[in-house]
A = this chain, B = another copy of it.
């Protein structure tokens, strides 16, 4: 008899039929005698519907009110799932984030979980209830409803698992697990059976999408093993585990392609200490999400700093740069939106210096020009022209032998 936390995403509970489907799956576990805590996202497109209503009223609604609005979505799905279990004769009780004391800071729309008081849930489990908990939401110290930002339900699930010292944490979604790359872009993509927290984190940050990066941080911090798998079949998915528990040592675990970033070059700024700190400090305060950063000195002690930002932050970036140029009385901006970022991630590259060379070689063999390079301990990212992005992804995927065995 184990204590199992399960999380079902929006597509898994997108209709009342799908909710019945999830309830049947839960019943199977329940009938085996397990204790179950089930974290649920809002139904399918309901979040989009709520956002659309808000947008009809105003463009930038107060974040506190957005959280009040958005959190209603999970309230619907947890109630319906509890009903579905009742119909199957399984005792179930739904809870909002506030009811199970998921306490967060007060950063509305991107709040961070600070603590969970698992008492209510433990009590209900003892009475043999399946506990259905609204994902994505919490309350701050003053009782305001907060939400955790995109994909926050994953984090809710992992935090519940940590608070309850759960034996397992299963993340049910609409894909079979974590793939070596997006199967929609590279048909040869292969499902990975195990992946380390650090690798998963890099892939999540690169937009691999299956997991919310904060949930992976949380899982890593508390040593929670995540099982990412499909709610539409019974296949085993991908286990996200400690590095030492990854059996199959691969140089590169996965590769990713990102096309919604823009490359910014800040040119003609004096080669003077503190200027880069000034610029990136401003960007951080404006919450622009800077990814790769590369600096090169140019002629006559003038510097160029290049970096990438999400396209949606471009306007804000321009404003920040203009203020910066005004202060230092020099500088100009070059923006290129026609870029793709291709990354290779793997803990194996820590101890193997040839990975970068292999990757650049694979791209050269395909005549793909590299515009920017950035590396970390377990990741290598390159910027290429957007039209070569997919070809670059395929080349790197192949170079590291990630295809499905034919």
Contacts and interface: CB of A to CB of B under 8 A. Distances in A.
Contacts of A75: 68-69, 71-72, 75
A46 to B, nearest CB: 10
Nearest to A62: B86
A190 interface: no
Contact-residue bracket for chain A = 35 or more
Copy count, this protein chain = 2
A323 to B, nearest CB: 27
A68 B87 contact: no
Given A65-B79, A79-B66, A84 B57 contact: yes
Interface string A53-74: 1101110011011101101110
A78 interface: yes
Interface of A: 16, 19-20, 50, 53-54, 56-58, 61-62, 64-66, 68-69, 71-73, 75-76, 78-80, 82-84, 86-87, 93-94, 96, 98-99, 120, 143-145
B83 A61 contact: yes
Contact of A80 (B20, B54, B71, B93): B54
A93 B83 CA distance: 32
Given A76-B69, A99-B143, A83 B54 contact: yes
Contacts of A80: 53-54, 57, 69
B79 A58 contact: no
A105 to B, nearest CB: 18
A57 B83 contact: yes
Given A65-B83, A68-B75, A68-B94, 19 more contacts: A19-B57, A57-B80, A57-B84, A61-B83, A62-B83, A62-B86, A65-B82, A65-B94, A66-B79, A68-B79, A68-B96, A69-B76, A69-B79, A69-B80, A71-B75, A72-B75, A72-B76, A75-B75, A99-B144
